[in-house]
Amino acid sequence: MIEKLTSDELKALLAELPGWKIDASATSIHRSFEFADFNEAFGFMTRIAIKAQEMDHHPEWSNVYNKVEITLSTHEAKGLTSRDATLARFIGSIAGNSGNG
């Protein structure tokens, strides 16, 4: 079983990942992204989908035109794990300046 991040690990992760916010129950992180148009947003999601499939760890997300909302959590652990940290780091590495908090 995958273990949840400790509170210290979670604090360190959030310090490392600007723009990500933790939910009130400390079981997920969320970030919004805005792109120039739908094509750019969809391309971003496609790159994440490929990585997520490789990791067998899939985000909760939504897309409306040029906006993408992403929530990460490991459901089997009922919280945040190293899987979420890895995927959040990847997302940040491909997001460029599109994150708006």
- CATH number, position 57: 3.30.1360.20
Is the pLDDT at 101 greater than 70, yes or no? no
What residues make up the domain containing 48?
7-95
In this structure, is residue 66 part of a structural domain? Answer: yes
Q: Which of 92, 64, 91, 87 is nearest to 74 (CA)?
A: 87
**What are the pLDDT digits (tens) for 44-85?**
999 999 999 999 999 999 999 999 999 999 999 999 999 999
In this structure, is residue 100 part of a structural domain? Answer: no
In this structure, is residue 91 part of a structural domain? Answer: yes
**What are the pLDDT digits (tens) for 15-41?**
999 999 999 998 999 999 999 999 999
Structural Rg of the chain based on CA atoms: 13
What pLDDT band is residue 98 in, cutting at 50, 70 and 90? confident
Kindly report the pTM of this predicted structure.
0.92
